[in-house]
Amino acid sequence: MKNIKLKEIKELFTLIVVVFAIKTCLLEIYVVPTGSMEKTILVGDMLVGNKFIYGMRTPDWIGIPYTDIGFFIPYIQLPKFKNPEVGDVLIFKYPRDKYVKYVKRCVAGPGDTILIENKQVYL
């Protein structure tokens, strides 16, 4: 009986480690926080983001989630399989709020000049 309980605890721990590894390294579910892409993606929609395609990064902070208790660590950027192209939907950390992930569409690439006039984007 004791041996079965220990085995179940080990299996549960292994499952938790695997789930966190997948969330950290490969895929993550994001909720759209703003209505800036309302014609295609609505506020509150859930997206599955692929962290691997544009060059996954190891975590840069270790601590208690949703608190400021923790510390920053050096991170490593892994090789990317593709560069972002015009029209791709990108998910990134909002610089002013580290808990919010923004979902935006790429409208230009390196070297492009952008003009925004009357809510129209011109390249």
Q: Just list the catalytic residues.
A: 36, 104
Task: For residues 10 and 92, give the distance between their C-alpha atoms in angstroms, rounded to a whole number.
Answer: 35
For residue 108, what are the CA distances in angstroms to 68, 88, 114?
A: 35, 10, 7
